[in-house]
Structure 1
Amino acid sequence: MASFPIEIMATGSATDPPPLIPVAGDLAQGHVALQQRPWHSRWRLSSIGDFAERALGASGFDRAPWIAVSLCFGISLWFLLDNPWQWSALIGSCGLAALGGWLMIRQTDLKQFGMAVVAVSLAVGFGTGLIWARSATIGAEALPAPQVQWYQGRVLEREEQPSRDRIRLVLAVRDAEAGEARKIRINVPLERARDDLRENAVVRFRARLMPPAPPMVPGAYNFARRAWFDGYAATGSVLGEIELVEPPPPPTGLAAVQRFLSGHVRDRVDGSAGTIAAAFASGDRGAITEADEEAMRDAGLTHLLSISGLHVSAIIAAAYILSLKLLALWPWLALRVRLPLVAAGIGALAGIGYTLLTGAEVPTVRSCAAAVLVLIALALGREPLSLRMVAVAAVFVLLLWPESLVGPSFQMSFAAVIAIVALHNAEPVKRFLAPREEGWFAHVGRRALMLLVTGLVIEIALMPIVLFHFHRAGVYGALANVIAIPLVTFISMPLIAIALALDAVGLGEPVWWLVGQSLDLLLGIAHFTSSQPGAVKLMPQMGLGTLSLFVAGGLWLALWKGRRRLLGFAPVAAGTLLLLLTPVPDILISGDGRHVGIAEDNRLIMLRESRSDYARDNLMELAGMSGEPVTITDWPGAQCSRDFCTVTIQRGGRDWHVLMARSRDRVEERALAAACERSHIVIADRWLPRSCRPQWLKADRRFLGQSGGLALFLEEERFTSVAQGEGEHGWWRGREKGARR
């Protein structure tokens, strides 16, 4: 049972032989033995060290990928550990371990093992220090409390979101009380969104601002952490009209080009296909409808909407191949210049330009870096698809944005790339894809089969990550991707490029029609796949330990060589077992106490009917349920008054009586105390008096202010809280109220 605050819980051995009395000869031998330092011999003959040395030598240990993994491990430990003294102790321990590895190299035969210890220790310590420094330098302290007032600030960014009937502005405003500038993000309804509300305009407005929200319940999206690293002090909505104090300069730069390109594409292609085409051309996803986004997600095709590896690789590959073929038509140049080197430079410029045009988001920059490394390898005649190249790209991204490690985009992208490279570098796959004398049909069939197998491997690699972050995953994604990836890569994107080029002379309309047809087919595949029975797998919150087993097993399978790589299946099997045994929370309580979800008879009972989908969707996802929830007033087993509701839940062979507050009106204290005494759990979005003493848990505003949202598991008589995973990191406001694990 978890522990709760008081107000909530009622050298030598007996069998050793006797020492022998030494004689003079023995003393002389002992003196010689001391000069030979027998502890060094024991260290050198250590069975663990020898085994590690032999294993590293026999398996062709490549340090580069494991150094990248160690860097990731150091960054992740900073997020997992609670406070600065633990981070400092970790960095110090890594330094001592590196010193020990250096001594192994200098004074023993464990050269490879010592080098591995030094490299891994330094990478782990550097990763911890890197993310700590990043947090300290760019982290933005949140507003202390919600507030409504007038602000004046300069527009930094403008994001179009017509599918949500709004635009989003990022501004730098002056805080008169703090005497410093703050970066905020506000939503502006479309009816108030003028064209002059763009970058570098100075505006005055009245807005309601909120501190960035922490996870609503354990396992939910942590916007407070994201806002901390993005520099947002608050988010909110504008109230009334926006006054233009200083007009913006004429639109210039990539932002203006991106906005023009997005509008131009949507004007040429109608409907949902136009919104997808605009995303491919400019990276603008703001016009994609929620229904289309959900269908693409449940069909396993969301990666096609994010400008990342597939799109950047297609652009770079097209530029590389076209330039190589065209330059080869010039004999004078072909005889004097290495054409692959020139084509690689042209492909790199095309990829960088496309990355900048589409917003230079982290996934795009990461993909561009990896693709440029592949071009460099091609130009130098090296193996282009290697795990070492993937490791270099990962380190490059983490040096710039170490916080991206804990986001789903980084994890999913690199998991997919590692799976692809490891699969295609396996000897059976190389033999299967090796050139041979065969007909066209057999050649295409082998490639199609390999594409399907690759899709299946990617789906298996991504499934734990998707379930951990989103609590749902498409089951038929591999089948959908067999058609969707070639469709986008070889038809839709080339057609978009050709149509944009032909628009310069007014001849692009027929090609735009073909673009619309191809993207309508893509959306049709997404909606058809997502609507099939069993197409979506729902899962309650997966534990971090379970995800760690999958990650460790997958990395071992991908990065190790020889038969020892098969040991990676052991943690994967253990993770699969834990995943199947993941319990569904019996009760979910939001951090403010206003929203409560109770899992009963495969239905979710909600305390309040939320006016927005945010609370409902979070509770449904974390409970691993689909369908429409039921409000507690409509549940037959509940009894409600104007101020409170009670419901009885059977778990573990006993009845649990739950009392939940519905209003903030004053209640007679004696009656409340009597009701609390009869209840096991009391939940309220206000402070309750000390006389309210339930039998197990009192989750009122005082307690929730320290713990954050809660997930209750009644049969095990335990709960998890948001605070348990936050520690003393800057974005967690509960640390100011004494929240501890």
Structure 2
Amino acid sequence: MGSATHQTVAFARIRRGWWTAIAAVERRLEVERDQLALWLPVAVGGGIAAWFVLPDAWGWAAFLLLVAAIAMAGRCLPGTRLGLALTAGGLAAGLGCALVWASAERAAAPVLRRPVVASLLVRVDQVQPLAARDAVRVVATPIGAPAMPFRLRLTIAQADAPARLAAGDRLRLRARLVPPQAAPVPGAYDFARVAWFQRIGATGRAFAPVERVGLGAEGPGLRERLSGHIRAQLSGGEGAIAAALATGDQGAMPDPDAEAMRRSGLAHLLSVSGLHITAVVGFAMVLVLRLLALSPRLALRWPLLLIAAGAGAVAGIGYTLLTGAEVPTIRSCVAALLVLTALAIGRDALTLRLVAAGALIVLLLWPESLVGASFQLSFAAVTALIAFHERPAIKAFLARREEGGVARCGRILLGALLTGLVVELALAPIALFHFHRAGLYGALANIVAIPLTTFVIMPLEALALLFDVGGMGAPLWWAAGKALALLLWIAHTVAVAPGAVAMLPTMARGTFALMIGGGLWMVLWKSRLAWWGAIPLAAGTAIALATPVPDLLVTGDGRHAAVRDGGTVGLLRPRAGGYIRDLLAESAGLDGVPGLIDDLQGARCGPDACIAELVRGGRRWRIMATRSGYFLPFEPLVRACATVDIAISERRLPAACRPRWLKIDRTFLGKNGGVAITLATGRVETVAALAGAHPWARR
């Protein structure tokens, strides 16, 4: 009897403890009730992210069951904000996971299994000039070739491409086709994933001759003609930037200028995004508003702000269509339309609720865009900016007041600098995760570059195009060229400044999630609860900085490898292309040009193979790699394998080749893809392990 009474009392205490905790959470949520809706797109995004991170259908199904259980648990707390949050969050996360799963299955299309050389008749769907490479890139659909994938992405040399190539043209050509390339090494750009959702089943390069056998109905589009016209007025990097600002076409950007823009933190100016849409919409609104206000009758009797907002919406939509209606541009246009809607109904134009609504619309329509750097960078920037300016202390500091001109300018400049620093801090984890680098002086560069682009370059370019109708745009093009030259000078000056770029070659997805989750927690709550987000943010930062750099990188085809010894990176093959050279250098944490394994201390190389020695984790590691297409003598190869810890080859090594630890040959790479190895910890990370059993990785 006493035992039963004791258990009853214990259960009562537990229930009281639970209800006390729930009541405490309810009080917190009551304080933050206006912020709860902001977490809806976060929950949807969490479900999408879970689908990309979890390896297979069993994991996805388990996640859906888990969030369903969370939603049901919320129903057990009726009439509470916590119950509502659990139910809505669980359902939203499940919706996000289901949406991206369905989107991936809906995008299923044939994918090329192995490299082939084929003669094809194709219909051109998209044309992208690559003037900086003297080439044209087209997305095309094969005609009368049932064995071919649904869509192809082909590169054609400029000299071989038919004149005025346009969408709708039919071409007869011969090309070498390969499957869409997975990430060459862990953490690199995974084009196979992007190609899957675009239904591109093969990529390749066309051989001469390329014959046009049919013309499209429309010829070159407005975008192509406009880009060509702008580059005819301005040459070099100035013309390339001007074309990118007007049409989103970055194909003519010289490599040195593009690299300088990336290193200086100004690369966002080259892709059509919120800045460009805002400038176009704002310019259209101001122009229409000023013109209509010239008439006193219209100014007094007509809703000019509503009309101007409508004109801005039309301009934004037109600009989006002109620049190709890519997902990032559509996303920015949706956000701009939401802002215009808020203006039209008399609400605050820029709030986190509008940002959340825009993010939710994009995620529901294009759930796969969540894992792209473009989505993450743009929404992180605008969320950090608005959250920073909504803080009471910042509002009070930036509020207009009676003061002298010097004090006002100083306060405005300080506010701009603080805003730039906040945005740079928000973007740094994303840039480091996707690109392994982040510009340290981007805030300073953007203070000058953004106003220069928004208020000088783009208006000058718009006026020059307008005056070109009457053949009077030359003076304006000259002025725009000088402004663009100044922008390039800023980019190159900042790019070569000491310590301009911070490198972080590896960041685990869990570490990235800690940093993003902590950052969202800090900006989406308004009370002191927000400061709890500093804990996962600091933990993620510490883990990212403490993660060791890989000592050995091997690409998925086995042809290229990089060995890191201290601050030096040596490549296996002296004739590695620029893309592979830069990729391996960045993945190994080198901000510069890598050398060769031959130059590393303790390395012995010949024309057909290399052996390198590294001391890691208190032991000496020996690595052997073949570097030519010639077969090595069997017995010396077997003896060499027995003396090394790791053997690497693009070919299939014989079974008698038995290194002490790991054999990375064609068989291994065919199953696992590219490899990153940290010798001190014995960690082996592969592309296949990160990709799991997602549709684009099943091949």
Deviation sequence 1:37-64 (CA, Å, 0-9, x none): x989938953432232121112335232
> Which whole-Å CA distance do the structure 2 matches of 1:500 and 1:662 have between them?
54
Q: Which one of 337, 341, 345 corresponds to residue 376 of structure 1?
A: 341
**Share of identical aligned residues, percent?**
46
**Aligned partner letter, 2:153:** R
SS in 2 for 1:214: coil
Is 1:205 aligned to residue 173 of structure 2? yes
Partner residue, 1:188? 156
Is 1:546 aligned to residue 524 of structure 2? no
**Structure 1 residues 276, 409: CA separation in 2 closer, same or farther (over 3 Å shift)?**
same
Tell me the TM-score normalised to structure 1 length.
Answer: 0.91
Partner residue, 1:270? 235
**Structure 1 residues 661, 269: CA separation in 2 closer, same or farther (over 3 Å shift)?**
closer
Is 1:151 aligned to residue 143 of structure 2? no
> Which whole-Å CA distance do the structure 2 matches of 1:644 and 1:127 have between them?
49
Q: Which one of 78, 100, 103 corresponds to residue 134 of structure 1?
A: 103
SS in 1 for 2:350: coil
**Aligned partner letter, 2:27:** R
Cα contact 1:61–1:560 (8 A) shared by 2: no
Which shows bigger deviation, 229-238 or 444-453?
444-453
> Which whole-Å CA distance do the structure 2 matches of 1:436 and 1:260 have between them?
49
Deviation at 1:644, TM superposition (A): 2.9
- Matched residue count: 698
Cα contact 1:593–1:701 (8 A) shared by 2: yes
Deviation sequence 1:60-91 (CA, Å, 0-9, x none): 35232100001110000000011112212222
Partner residue, 2:524? 559
Cα contact 1:175–1:181 (8 A) shared by 2: no
Partner residue, 2:449? 484
Is 1:224 aligned to residue 155 of structure 2? no
**Aligned partner letter, 2:69:** L
Deviation at 1:443, TM superposition (A): 2.3
Q: Which one of 99, 108, 130 corresponds to residue 161 of structure 1?
A: 130
Cα contact 1:547–1:575 (8 A) shared by 2: yes
Listed as ranges, the gaps of 5+ residues in structure 1 are 1-15, 23-29, 737-741
Q: Which one of 685, 699, 717 corresponds to residue 650 of structure 2?
A: 685
Is 1:114 aligned to residue 83 of structure 2? yes
Partner residue, 1:84? 57
- 1:275-424 aligned within 5 A: 275-424=240-389
SS in 1 for 2:324: coil
**Aligned partner letter, 1:89:** A
> Which whole-Å CA distance do the structure 2 matches of 1:21 and 1:508 have between them?
91
**Aligned partner letter, 1:690:** A
> Which whole-Å CA distance do the structure 1 matches of 2:218 and 2:323 have between them?
21
Partner residue, 1:6? none
Is 1:233 aligned to residue 233 of structure 2? no
Is 1:93 aligned to residue 93 of structure 2? no
> Which whole-Å CA distance do the structure 2 matches of 1:311 and 1:567 have between them?
35
Which shows bigger deviation, 432-441 or 372-381?
432-441
Listed as ranges, the gaps of 5+ residues in structure 2 are none
Partner residue, 1:9? none
Is 1:50 aligned to residue 15 of structure 2? no
> Which whole-Å CA distance do the structure 2 matches of 1:245 and 1:220 have between them?
39
Deviation sequence 1:179-202 (CA, Å, 0-9, x none): x76200111111112224321111
**Aligned partner letter, 2:258:** E
Deviation sequence 1:370-416 (CA, Å, 0-9, x none): 11111111111111111110011111111221111111111000000
Tell me the TM-score normalised to structure 2 length.
Answer: 0.96
Q: Which one of 629, 637, 649 corresponds to residue 614 of structure 2?
A: 649
> Which whole-Å CA distance do the structure 2 matches of 1:453 and 1:143 have between them?
50
**Structure 1 residues 400, 21: CA separation in 2 closer, same or farther (over 3 Å shift)?**
closer
Partner residue, 2:496? 531
Deviation sequence 1:654-705 (CA, Å, 0-9, x none): 1111121234544454443332222111111111222222111111111111
Deviation sequence 1:137-166 (CA, Å, 0-9, x none): 113342000000101110111111111110
**Aligned partner letter, 2:92:** A
Deviation at 1:136, TM superposition (A): 0.6
SS in 2 for 1:62: helix
> Which whole-Å CA distance do the structure 2 matches of 1:103 and 1:43 have between them?
16
SS in 2 for 1:650: strand
SS in 2 for 1:705: helix
**Structure 1 residues 442, 603: CA separation in 2 closer, same or farther (over 3 Å shift)?**
same
**Structure 1 residues 331, 224: CA separation in 2 closer, same or farther (over 3 Å shift)?**
same
Which shows bigger deviation, 194-203 or 646-655?
194-203
Which shows bigger deviation, 459-468 or 653-662?
653-662
Cα contact 1:540–1:582 (8 A) shared by 2: no
Deviation sequence 1:122-141 (CA, Å, 0-9, x none): 11000000000111111334
Which shows bigger deviation, 338-347 or 524-533?
338-347
RMSD after superposition: 2.2
**Structure 1 residues 574, 175: CA separation in 2 closer, same or farther (over 3 Å shift)?**
farther
Cα contact 2:162–2:212 (8 A) shared by 1: no
Deviation at 1:591, TM superposition (A): 1.2
Q: Which one of 586, 596, 599 corresponds to residue 561 of structure 2?
A: 596
Cα contact 1:141–1:228 (8 A) shared by 2: no
Cα contact 2:560–2:576 (8 A) shared by 1: no
SS in 1 for 2:515: helix
**Aligned partner letter, 1:491:** V
Cα contact 2:570–2:598 (8 A) shared by 1: no
Q: Which one of 467, 470, 481 corresponds to residue 432 of structure 2?
A: 467
